Amino acid sequence: MAPFRLSSSSINSNNPHLSKFNFPSTAAITSDSGFRTNWTTTRLLLFRTTSVPSSTRRKLWISNVAKDQQKELKDPVNGGVVDDSDSFLPDSASIAASIKYHSEFTPSFSPEGFGLSKAYYATAESVRDMLIINWNATYEYYERMNVKQAYYLSMEFLQGRALLNAIGNLELSGNYGDALRVLGFNLEEVARQESDAALGNGGLGRLASCFLDSLATLNYPAWGYGLRYKYGLFKQLITKNGQEEVAENWLEMGNPWEIARNDISYPVKFYGEVISGADGSKQWVGGENITAVAYDVPIPGYKTKTTINLRLWSTKVAPEEFDLSSFNVGNHADAYAAIKKAEKICYVLYPGDDSLEGKTLRLKQQYTLCSASLQDIVARFERRSGEALDWESFPEKVAVQMNDTHPTLCIPELIRILMDVKALTWKEAWDITSRTVAYTNHTVLPEALEKWGFPLMQELLPRHVQIIEMIDEELIHSIVAKYGTKDHELLQQKLKEMRVLENFELPDSVMELLVNSAESAVAVDAIEEAEILDEESLPSKEEEEAEILDEESLPGKEEEESEDKSIAKKIDVSFKVDPKQPKMIRMANLSVVGGYSVNGVAEIHSEIVRTEVFSDFYELWPEKFQNKTNGVTPRRWIRFCNPDLSKIITKWTGTEHWVTDTEKLAILRKFADNEDLQSMWKEAKRINKLKVVSFLKEKTGYLVSPDAMFDVQVKRIHEYKRQLLNILGIVYRYKQMKEMTLEEREAKFVPRVCIFGGKAFATYVQAKRIVKFIADVGATVNNDPDIGDLLKVVFVPDYNVSVAEVLIPGSDLSQHISTAGMEASGTSNMKFAMNGCVLIGTLDGANVEIREEVGEDNFFLFGARAHEIANLRKERAQGKFVPDPRFEEVKAFVRSGVFGSNNYEELIGSLEGNEGYGRADYFLVGKDFPSYIECQDRVDEAYRDQKRWTKMSILNTAGSYKFSSDRTIHEYAKDIWKISPLLIS
């Protein structure tokens, strides 16, 4: 095929920089063979380059996808290689043409002007064009090969900005930079126009996004499923009143990365009733009906054609639900009530659940995710199976991973679909489901191990309650089979801890089993008692004859019935429920019972899961339990966000393969003392710190010195994460400074910029008090002329992925100081270590493994250990805790009013007393305070020796190799999902 030539005709632009680049007019693309094509008829362009040496300038090819894409995709699906790996990579000229095309013909903006926002959307749409080609090829290949596929269900996907990540994975960063320069723009400025996708909040969602990146990069057949939140969690503002929340506006200008699949939608039902058929079948009828519509987001792998899918669900109702007659008579609210009721399901991530309405909305969200996703998965299985449909093979083709307990309703929902829609028996449906679904536990906090009130669940999802009752009954029989019925006390304890249904009567089948067992035990006892009677006590012949009387003349039958009732009553009393306590459904227990695999996310966390949280289940099913230590994608979290350090790593490891094979980072260890490497390393860190300085000035107004140590704690605001311990340590430091002369404080303290970031949940009052306190301390310290640059405290508003991508590369010290045993894993600790940041922390979550890998001398450890926590709390309750004088000193200093007129009594008071809700220092801030501030002194000492500190930094990066999400995904694929890579040729 002869290459097309761009004609001399061009589209004029309001941007003066475009005058040096000619673009094709509407019908100005002509081939050497004379074929003319209309630019506007080709919505999606495939840009190809000839396979030539890299030193030779590539020629521009433009082919019509309507014809050529079919030929390009047909052979890869059959395993053939059509073209080399460069075949889909355009040069900068063709990229510029594509961007210009989208600026003119993709109607996101009006034709007037060509500013940064328009440049971003046009650039994103040009990238999406290329992603779609690989995306469609991947989809079709999976359909035809019909291999086992993993489906990852999560309430959160914290994606971050997509543009730089996508062009980086496509190896087009340089070409896009060149193209945008020709068009008069800077790539980084264009990329900053993108809003972070408001689909998540914390580590749970960021982990899910890292997993999708690794799944695509490693060519595993997998999809993600989530919800398309219109307003996210919230956008955080920091004002004089502390944290304030406003709605996210990330979808205000549209989302160029998503494609609405209006042809893919599924019905989702709430309320109604269950009707039993004559044949025993069940039909869920009536109630409230909505529709879940699919929006697809392509997830490209790094240096691979594999592009997997994140399918997000949005909710609506059918047009006929709009009450036109009510609207026309002025009852507008009534007219669109059903529409608003459906739409609000996907308005906000984690709506407040203090009210019944809030709880109902959250449960609706969770069920929508599960129902729509499972219906889609089942439909895909049926389509792939064709005439060879065999439900028994469903677990051999499908693995469903539940990211925490939010998607637990997958279990009863899959059973419902199989039984009520596909007409399978209970036994078949239960067997298939329990071989399909797996569960990742992310927390040991009791409040996060979800429970739902039985009345709400019964009203909202009546069919699922029936199925959950059947699952609970199945579980009880398993427990009875394991432990028997003789020891009622043991059985009571096991049922109390393990049942899915909390505070429920025993099912009739179990009561019957226990009664029969008790009767058998009584009969055995009677036989044994009779057997040991002395022969002399046996009746005489005359007595035996007297006993052979008519059965009706004896009271034996009535006595037996009375005895049966007595036994049943005794058992009923033994297993009696507490009428004062609510009936609840325990979702974590349901996840363990219905799943074939249960995994924690760090070694210490998985051990706690086995020995404490689910110890009874582990005793019953030890084979279900695994550990899968979390990881983060090295592409986003070092390669793309820290290009200066990445170049140094490539130079000193001698390869770029560390980006996909992080074990090569360990090569850095042997150069940790090399002066040349240290010099380059320090320079890269300074460049990143200067970016942080500029960012903080822009976002907060505070100007900080890049020569200070950047000390960072960024994560969700929660008492167990102990931002309060950090800020109290800063207050103590500030108090000491104020009591010294200038010379004394400069001699004792290393200059620090203490940076906080993270959101407090809108209804979490204590967490919001902590945010307010941090902001107030910053306002005082930062404006104290005596202190100057020796100490700054900055709270960065609206912490998200894009903020992290700036802060993490520029950090010197990072704080991961949760109460030991309460953090499941953490992933920000991995990101900081990967970027050469030294950590201070407790032996909690993945800190334990990070410390092992980077070396004990390169991690600042303090605080109580996980196995000590229970006794420390017990001692506190007994009044045995004696606070350190320095802790009492800092509390008094806060109460003195030095940080403003705000009353911090509720905040500081939570650290006092021995018992009571919200008091008694449950998270052991006071206990760990002396250890913490002494550890901070060691940090200052180490930072003064920059050669030592730089070596520690290098060894943290070198030791972070284990914490790649690639390693984690390989383990999931091998040990849990049983899937294999499927390479798109």
Residues annotated as part of the active site: 442, 715-716, 721, 827, 831
Distance CA 332, CA 335 (A): 5
Distance CA 678, CA 886 (A): 38
* Residue 144 to residues 77, 199, 381, 823, Cα–Cα distance (Å): 7, 31, 12, 42
CB 821 within 8 A of CB 604: yes
Distance CA 260, CA 105 (A): 19
Distance CA 929, CA 906 (A): 19
Residue 136 contacts by C-beta under 8 Å, 6 or more apart in sequence? 69, 73
Dihedral angle sign, alpha carbons of residues 612, 613, 615, 616: positive
Residue 611 contacts by C-beta under 8 Å, 6 or more apart in sequence? 618
Distance CA 500, CA 464 (A): 13
CB 478 within 8 A of CB 557: no
* Strands, sheet with 4-6, edge to edge from the N-terminal-most edge strand: 4-6, 29-31, 36-37
DSSP label at 660?
T
Residue 751 half-sphere exposure toward CB, CA atoms < 13 A: 11
DSSP label at 3?
P
Q: What angle do CA 696, 190, 45 make, to 5 degrees?
A: 155
Distance CA 448, CA 920 (A): 21
Distance CA 306, CA 141 (A): 10
815 beta partners = 840
Residue 776 contacts by C-beta under 8 Å, 6 or more apart in sequence? 899, 900, 902
Dihedral angle sign, alpha carbons of residues 442, 446, 447, 453: positive
CA 125 to centroid of chain Cα atoms: 27
DSSP label at 744?
H
How many helices (H) does the chain have, and how many strands (E)? 38, 27
The residue behind tokens 């019509």 is 64
CB 817 within 8 A of CB 713: yes
CB 633 within 8 A of CB 213: yes
3 state SS of 793? strand
186 beta partners = none
Q: What angle do CA 571, 574, 577 make, to 5 degrees?
A: 115
The residue behind tokens 């579980």 is 475
Q: Are strands 149-153 and 398-403 parallel, antiparallel or unpaired?
A: parallel
Distance CA 856, CA 552 (A): 85
Helical (H) or strand (E) element with 783? none
CB 30 within 8 A of CB 5: yes
The residue behind tokens 């439900």 is 391
State both tokens at 648: 């140094």
At 576, the amino acid letter reads: K
Long-range contact set of residues 303-306: C-beta below 8 Å, sequence gap at least 24: 303/169, 303/171, 303/217, 303/660, 304/216, 304/217, 304/219, 304/983, 304/984, 305/76, 305/88, 305/134, 305/137, 305/138, 305/984, 305/985, 306/134, 306/138, 306/216, 306/217, 306/219, 306/982, 306/983, 306/984
